[in-house]
């Protein structure tokens, strides 16, 4: 798993944002300024759709006021599903999305999880991270179902602690 102080790897991915969908690389998206990056097991899955993503949408202004330049959500889904999820959730424009259809970014970051037992294949582990200029600063993982350590309130607390 990627550690604090390590550079974000360069992996081809699809960026979905208010400007549309485009091919890019993970280091291009996550490599400038202070980025909050969070990963979810899947678009439209209950916890991701009802808890994790909404916490970042609701706190986007607070995160930006705390110095965050970009908020990025990654999911192991194709670009069409991720785009539809971004639109349906009202997050497009507040959050940028990375569609990691083949779990290549999840693998490169060491955040892939085998969820085959539940019929989901390889997915992202639920996580959140603070990345500054392409260097991992802090990473948070959930060790149980739900969203506690990786939700926007926890990231806001981490940002506040870092200022102290």
Helices (H), the chain: 26-30, 46-47, 53-58, 60-65, 79-88, 104-109, 152-163
Give the C-alpha separation, 64 to 61, whole Å. 5
Under 8 Å CB-to-CB from 80, ≥6 apart: which residues? none
Pick from 139, 137, 141, 119: nearest CA to 40: 141
Per-residue tokens: 1: 């798993």
Residue 73 annotated to the active site: no
Measured from the Cβ of residue 71, the count of other Cβ atoms closer than 10 Å reads: 22
Given 48, 63, 98, 159, the catalytic residue: 48
Q: Is 108 helix (H, G, I), strand (E, B) or coil?
A: helix
- Which residues belong to the active site? 48
């Amino acid at each position: 798993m990627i550690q604090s102080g390590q550079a974000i790897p360069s992996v081809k991915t699809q960026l979905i944002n208010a400007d549309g969908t485009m091919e890019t690389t993970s280091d291009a998206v996550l490599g400038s300024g202070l980025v909050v990056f969070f990963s979810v097991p899947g678009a439209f899955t209950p916890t991701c759709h009802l808890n994790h993503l909404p916490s970042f949408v609701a706190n986007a202004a607070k995160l930006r006021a705390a110095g965050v330049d970009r908020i990025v959500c990654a999911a192991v889904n194709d670009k069409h599903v991720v785009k539809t999820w971004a639109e349906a959730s009202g997050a497009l424009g507040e959050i940028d999305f990375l569609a990691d259809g083949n779990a290549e970014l999840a693998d490169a970051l060491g955040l892939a999880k085998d969820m085959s037992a539940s019929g989901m294949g390889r997915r992202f582990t639920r996580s959140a991270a603070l990345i500054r200029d392409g260097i991992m600063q802090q990473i948070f993982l959930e060790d149980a179902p739900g969203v506690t350590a990786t939700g926007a309130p926890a990231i806001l607390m981490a940002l506040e602690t870092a200022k102290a």
